Structure 1
């Protein structure tokens, strides 16, 4: 996607930004609270939190390289899971960043009190005053302390390094015993509390447009920064606990009973004296002030972004003419911040902030699964997170478990905010947002542009398309004729061979080898297709009879003892493999071959045959009874999963006549059109003089920009097609009903297949529902690049994510 921003940030600069986004309030406030919760194992709590953050960091890095746009978690979740979950993520992140600012303000006051004890009676008043101060700063200036960020981070790292180096020799072994014991009571609760320390990692993808080689540098920077900060946190906490007797500090009143207080200043006092205390207190105040100010700045931009998308009222996107800031969004965030610092104690603030952060991280992992499993078309990340989906499952399950370790109140608080956000969506936002699930207009345009490029490349490819017409014992003659005619239409336009193969099922033989047999066909192809010696006008009877049983290059019959697959589902090489078809610049058109394969497993044999012969498209009959008989799909679902190329399921409703077709309806339920659907429709229309109708449904009363974008997209597609076409954008709250109404008059419907998961079986599949509602012949297409998960992965994904 073109951008006006310069890619000036290398790996070092991006890593520095990531480190600066995370280092701040957590290290100065949370060690004491974590110690009270889990003892010396507070050290391990910071490490475990970093490990649990890693899946979300990698997921965010992948999504950022695919969608290099501002918006962070809100954008990714909205794009991957739709506007409802995007609203929850946006509101949750806004709340989380506000809570982090509150934590910095409330936690920073004890450091002021440490150097000026007379302020102890006015902690809450000081926090409120600071909240008002930083709110005003953000109202009148968008810069805040941003220019000082690198300097503050550098000074902070130097101060903490001085503390660590000086403190290592004084660490008391008995005080750090069990620092890395995962069985310590309260370890997970402490992990949940310190989660907010890593909240800044989600800010990093916002600079993806400005990173050099983002596919490499962005994930390396995020993972590297996460490792650096985790080591820094663990080391500082280890020295803090090893040097300072935290229990004695609590008993002496230097720390509150919950561990709140200037704990790092206490350590500096013991190790470095007055000079060290001054340095640490100064670094803490600067870091906490920067965190609070940057938190308000970042948090206030979420109401702004959501207002632009219609989630919040438009008044929150207004920018002050005088100050150039989103005044209403800043004021709203400031009001929330005042509420938090006035009524919530610091441990509650930390727990709530961590709860929201965990929830956002869980949503980021789920959003990536949504992208990978096809919720958004044209998803082309430069970097892909490793160990998918296991890493994401670990992040989701681990995050969910730790979330409830915070206790009932924070967990219910996080879920309560999610429920409030969902309520806001249903009462207000859904009437004002584009419900296709794309948060930004530019992102949608980029997806359409990539789809057009793919479609144009597919139409310009002149390698030819080899088609396998897969007939089984249950295939009706009508469907066989339809599939053969479609294969011929494709071959005449695109070039390539048509293999009409009958897969005869035979029972398993206990004492014989598990092999399939390629047998000599009996009867004519006209007999197979049910028209005998009176072929329809579209069928090249003479050419077909001459090539029946021939090898792909036409030089003779195939070896009848060739083996294409084993009955147990495995594959093995042909004993006498046929020669490869000769590829020429202008592929042979309309050439038919026919064979018989005797097999124990039809699905395995179709897949093995297609793989061995280099088939580009398999045509099979859509078995309606099979689709609705089994919970997870039956033999048809197996075929969709196992065939290694494109596949089209055909349901005959009178398509085999000689009359000229008038209209072919090509439908997309979600996202862009797949090129394979358009290629098939174009080939059939070319041979039958039909007109193509591009049908796409949108919600009633869509935003003007959405309709204009689809109209432009359809116009580009119609320039690529070789036949007359028209665009129909259907406004309807019930998309399937609207599509069915306009598709019913067509002579042929071409749509997409649906995944055979549990959710589809229980709730219905839009593609199947649409085909069942129309009366014309239907073709359901699955492209060659459809993702095929492994058996265990499919099992888990179908149940957890409803695929």
Structure 2
């Protein structure tokens, strides 16, 4: 049984955790590497990096006040983008925070070595164990330790700034932009991780007092303060020390302090560096351990990580796992070289944070009620996404490949472990699906309200009089409801070797004349019916050209199951589907008299508007009921099924015929669709052309071939379907 965490962190602790999570490796280790890339321009790089964090800080502040739960980044991305990206963000952020904590300890020990002759790795391991134990004792003790560390550390850093400013030499800033924009952006990407800790306090939001006030103040206040502090420190550092010395040392702050302050000042800065890096590691353990804790509560990680100690009220198992990983990193991994990986992943996570906020806002949920709202929405978030993408390009191949490896590993964990245990989707997926569904509903409404719908019945050689009458009957029912006209044309093919004299008599759409003997058909079917005949060397072109000339809304043809040669050389029907200027309706002609129900079947996509329009028209004329059946796979979430139910409700209101709806669970196979279709009296399915079906029949063809009832395959014209991107989105979210 899991427990809620106690709210023990006030505003001072929130500020201390946030500042402590930032002031560490970012100012005591990274300046040396950044100076080597951008020279004096590193001052501007720190300022730009701080500004680029603002969108994510604002987004996270808003979401933290709406969802003050342990887990921070993971919670917001999981709720906004879904459990898959939530898993990626949770594992990736947990990993990068553990990495940053280990980096801080290993990077801090060289400062300690300046005072005492000690081995680096053993000391780092001992410090890590101490911090792990402190975190297990309780968040209140952790918060108090953090406040004490930050106060001492800031006092020393302010001494460095005020004591070193008088010694600044302006000539040291010459060549500020010598490395150009490329060097500046590369340095910005490197030092970006210096600010990653600003939002980590949101991961302990469940333990913050008055989160609606303290979280935004803590995040934004600490970011503004730390940005100014970083810029001033780096400016003083460069102004008092030769660039060559700073770029070739593991302790750049000590080098700068030695140039301006007395021995006491150097000792104070060294102690501040040690405290800052211990603070970073402490905050890293505190926040990163909450990620497996939060993921386990959502069934994305084993339940034992959600265990809260009865004695200390802390997630001891999650802290232990984080500690073990950190110890392993300190002992075996060259952390400094891979620090860029943590930075690259932090940039990626910040991009997802901004996208998640947009998803929550667009969803307009009643349950999403933040006490703080990000200003300048959505421009601020779009800027955060675009600037993050730019920075990612500057991180280098190793960092990007490493981020990809972590991402792929997280996706693998989700599919193998988490997916079978989850039944929910992110707000973004649901929002996109609902918007895509609404777009289909709007197109369907427009289609159903069309005033005229003319149908061309294309008869070919071998169509018997009985089958012809059934085709005309279906066409009449399709056209009548929309005050359309039925044009029946017999297309006869003549061989290419025919004499030129006879060929000159072949009719074209321009000079085609309808026969007059159609009054009886018009009276019988209560719709204007025209009849004629065309002979041509190429029936395919003749049908398409005639439909274009007459501006037909649909071509209705008898369906001919593909013969062996069609599988290899292409079917004439396939050619017509690709080139027709309108919808093409293929009828599997089976005898019927009365129909009480017309089944419209779909899976993995919304119902085509043309399909709904035809089914509604037929049902209205035949006094039948439209039966909408949506086949979903067994893995479909409750959210997905609810979206389909809402979609069905809107379609029911649009149709004039009575409508029933069903959501049927299948394994996604064609055989399951066949089983559903076998319950139909009259079946309507979408028959959209795909090139791969030149060599094998489409699933719709296989379904229609396997059943005995009258069936219609509707191929919706390109102009009535969403664009390429729209079809991809529909495929992904439905």
Which TM class, normalised by the smaller chain length? Answer: 0.5 to 0.7
Partner Cα separation in structure 1 for residue 102 and residue 584 of structure 2: 60
Per the alignment, do residues 426 and 680 of structure 1 end up closer, same or farther by CA in structure 2, a change over 3 Å counting? Answer: same
Q: 1:294 aligns with which of 266, 283, 288?
A: 283
Equivalent pair of 2:20/2:280 in contact (CA under 8 Å):
no
Q: 1:339 aligns with which of 324, 328, 331?
A: 328
Matched with 1:534 is: 524
- Kindly state the Cα deviation for residue 100 of structure 1 after the two structures are TM-superposed: 1.5
Partner Cα separation in structure 1 for residue 518 and residue 205 of structure 2: 58
Q: 1:328 aligns with which of 310, 317, 327?
A: 317
Equivalent pair of 1:175/1:242 in contact (CA under 8 Å):
yes
- Kindly state the Cα deviation for residue 499 of structure 1 after the two structures are TM-superposed: 8.4
Equivalent pair of 2:65/2:211 in contact (CA under 8 Å):
no
Q: Does 1:131 align with 2:66?
A: no
Matched with 1:385 is: 378
Per the alignment, do residues 272 and 717 of structure 1 end up closer, same or farther by CA in structure 2, a change over 3 Å counting? Answer: same
Matched with 2:90 is: 90
Aligned residue runs from structure 1 range 505-584, under 5 A:
532-535=522-525
Matched with 2:26 is: 26
Equivalent pair of 2:20/2:283 in contact (CA under 8 Å):
no
Q: 1:312 aligns with which of 288, 292, 301?
A: 301
Aligned residue runs from structure 1 range 428-443, under 5 A:
428-434=417-423, 438=425
Partner Cα separation in structure 2 for residue 227 and residue 683 of structure 1: 64
Partner Cα separation in structure 2 for residue 778 and residue 465 of structure 1: 18
Per the alignment, do residues 483 and 185 of structure 1 end up closer, same or farther by CA in structure 2, a change over 3 Å counting? Answer: same
Partner Cα separation in structure 2 for residue 368 and residue 761 of structure 1: 37
- Kindly state the Cα deviation for residue 266 of structure 1 after the two structures are TM-superposed: 4.7
- Kindly state the Cα deviation for residue 244 of structure 1 after the two structures are TM-superposed: 2.5
Secondary structure of the residue that 2:632 maps to in structure 1?
A: strand
Q: Does 1:467 align with 2:456?
A: no
Partner Cα separation in structure 2 for residue 676 and residue 212 of structure 1: 55
Q: Does 1:698 align with 2:633?
A: yes
Partner Cα separation in structure 1 for residue 159 and residue 402 of structure 2: 39
State which structure, 1 or 2, has the greater radius of gyration over its C-alpha atoms: 2
Q: Does 1:238 align with 2:235?
A: yes
Equivalent pair of 1:50/1:230 in contact (CA under 8 Å):
yes
Aligned residue runs from structure 1 range 672-751, under 5 A:
688-690=623-625, 692-699=627-634, 706=637, 725=660, 727-732=662-667, 734=668, 738-739=672-673, 741-743=675-677, 745-746=679-680, 747=682
Matched with 2:542 is: none
Equivalent pair of 1:307/1:317 in contact (CA under 8 Å):
yes
Partner Cα separation in structure 2 for residue 288 and residue 501 of structure 1: 81
1:102-129, CA deviations, whole angstroms, 9 ceiling, x for partnerless residues? 1222233344445xx12x4233222111
- Kindly state the Cα deviation for residue 317 of structure 1 after the two structures are TM-superposed: 3.4
Equivalent pair of 2:93/2:349 in contact (CA under 8 Å):
yes
Partner Cα separation in structure 2 for residue 62 and residue 481 of structure 1: 61
Structure 1 spans left out of the alignment, 5+ residues: 251-256, 490-497, 503-522, 542-597, 607-618, 640-648, 755-759
- Kindly state the Cα deviation for residue 330 of structure 1 after the two structures are TM-superposed: 1.9
Partner Cα separation in structure 1 for residue 219 and residue 716 of structure 2: 39
Partner Cα separation in structure 1 for residue 319 and residue 50 of structure 2: 31
Matched with 2:565 is: none
Secondary structure of the residue that 1:236 maps to in structure 2?
A: helix
Aligned residue runs from structure 1 range 358-377, under 5 A:
358-361=347-350
Per the alignment, do residues 326 and 271 of structure 1 end up closer, same or farther by CA in structure 2, a change over 3 Å counting? Answer: same
Matched with 2:396 is: 404
Per the alignment, do residues 242 and 103 of structure 1 end up closer, same or farther by CA in structure 2, a change over 3 Å counting? Answer: same
Aligned residue runs from structure 1 range 34-433, under 5 A:
34-47=34-47, 49-50=49-50, 73-74=73-74, 85-114=85-114, 117-118=115-116, 120-143=117-140, 145-146=142-143, 160=157, 163-164=160-161, 167-183=164-180, 189-200=186-197, 203=200, 229-248=226-245, 257=248, 259-261=249-251, 263-268=252-257, 270-271=259-260, 273=262, 280=269, 284-361=273-350, 385-386=378-379, 392=385, 395-396=388-389, 398-404=390-396, 408=398, 410-425=399-414, 427-433=416-422
Partner Cα separation in structure 2 for residue 94 and residue 17 of structure 1: 16
Partner Cα separation in structure 2 for residue 241 and residue 168 of structure 1: 11
- Kindly state the Cα deviation for residue 325 of structure 1 after the two structures are TM-superposed: 3.1
- Kindly state the Cα deviation for residue 197 of structure 1 after the two structures are TM-superposed: 1.4
- Kindly state the Cα deviation for residue 242 of structure 1 after the two structures are TM-superposed: 1.2
Higher relative helix content:
2
Per the alignment, do residues 781 and 102 of structure 1 end up closer, same or farther by CA in structure 2, a change over 3 Å counting? Answer: farther
Partner Cα separation in structure 2 for residue 329 and residue 78 of structure 1: 19
- Kindly state the Cα deviation for residue 334 of structure 1 after the two structures are TM-superposed: 0.8
Per the alignment, do residues 404 and 740 of structure 1 end up closer, same or farther by CA in structure 2, a change over 3 Å counting? Answer: farther
Per the alignment, do residues 414 and 105 of structure 1 end up closer, same or farther by CA in structure 2, a change over 3 Å counting? Answer: same
1:121-174, CA deviations, whole angstroms, 9 ceiling, x for partnerless residues? 233222111211222233342445336767876876676566445544432223
Equivalent pair of 2:34/2:190 in contact (CA under 8 Å):
yes
- Kindly state the Cα deviation for residue 243 of structure 1 after the two structures are TM-superposed: 1.7
Partner Cα separation in structure 1 for residue 327 and residue 106 of structure 2: 11
Partner Cα separation in structure 2 for residue 129 and residue 226 of structure 1: 31
Structure 2 spans left out of the alignment, 5+ residues: 460-469, 487-512, 529-546, 560-570, 705-710
TM-score with structure 2 length normalisation? 0.62
1:69-89, CA deviations, whole angstroms, 9 ceiling, x for partnerless residues? 765554566677765555443
Range 329-338 or range 268-277, more displaced: 268-277
- Kindly state the Cα deviation for residue 98 of structure 1 after the two structures are TM-superposed: 0.6
Matched with 1:552 is: none
Q: Does 1:669 align with 2:604?
A: yes
Per the alignment, do residues 787 and 233 of structure 1 end up closer, same or farther by CA in structure 2, a change over 3 Å counting? Answer: farther
Equivalent pair of 1:62/1:385 in contact (CA under 8 Å):
no
1:44-78, CA deviations, whole angstroms, 9 ceiling, x for partnerless residues? 44345457667767887899899997655545666
Secondary structure of the residue that 2:170 maps to in structure 1?
A: coil
Equivalent pair of 1:730/1:738 in contact (CA under 8 Å):
no
Equivalent pair of 1:743/1:749 in contact (CA under 8 Å):
no
- Kindly state the Cα deviation for residue 353 of structure 1 after the two structures are TM-superposed: 2.1
Per the alignment, do residues 773 and 413 of structure 1 end up closer, same or farther by CA in structure 2, a change over 3 Å counting? Answer: same
Equivalent pair of 1:106/1:341 in contact (CA under 8 Å):
yes
| Aligned-CA RMSD value | 6.7
Per the alignment, do residues 777 and 15 of structure 1 end up closer, same or farther by CA in structure 2, a change over 3 Å counting? Answer: farther
Secondary structure of the residue that 2:93 maps to in structure 1?
A: helix
Equivalent pair of 1:362/1:399 in contact (CA under 8 Å):
no
Equivalent pair of 1:480/1:529 in contact (CA under 8 Å):
no
